[in-house]
Amino acid sequence: MRTKRFLFTLLAIVIMISLIACTSKTGSDKSKEASETSSQEVSGSEKHMTISYATTQVVEGVDYNGDELSKYFMDKFNIDWEIIPLSGTQARE
């Protein structure tokens, strides 16, 4: 019984050490990763895109781009939403 407890504790310690060693990054890696991320964000938002999608759940006369969430995505990612309404007969085709 004592041997099993010792082996279990030893195994738990080895797993914790390997987990810490595999997930930790050095300071230079963190700064390099941060600079790469910031450069990707700048380059990704420079190109303007329009995302179009079709759905049957559109109510005529409602501005779906007017809510705060749509505006947030439009501003942050430099995109426009184009919603194409489908009638029930078009969806079956």
On the CB side of 28, CA atoms within 13 Å amount to: 0
DSSP per residue over the chain, as a string? -HHHHHHHHHHHHHHHHHHHHHH---HHHHHHHHHHHHHHHHHHHHS-EEEEEEES---TT--TTSSHHHHHHHHHHTEEEEEEE--HHHHH-
Give the domain extent around 6.
Answer: 2-25+45-92
Q: Kindly state whether residue 40 falls inside one of the protein's structural domains.
A: no
Top pLDDT among 44 and 22 is at 22
Find how far residue 76's CA is from the centre of its chain.
13
Q: Kindly state whether residue 68 falls inside one of the protein's structural domains.
A: yes
pTM for this entry? 0.41
Q: Kindly state whether residue 36 falls inside one of the protein's structural domains.
A: no
Q: Summarize pLDDT for 57-84 with one digit per residue, the tens.
A: 888 778 888 889 888 988 988 988 888 8
User: What is the number of structural domains in the chain?
Assistant: 1
Q: Kindly state whether residue 30 falls inside one of the protein's structural domains.
A: no
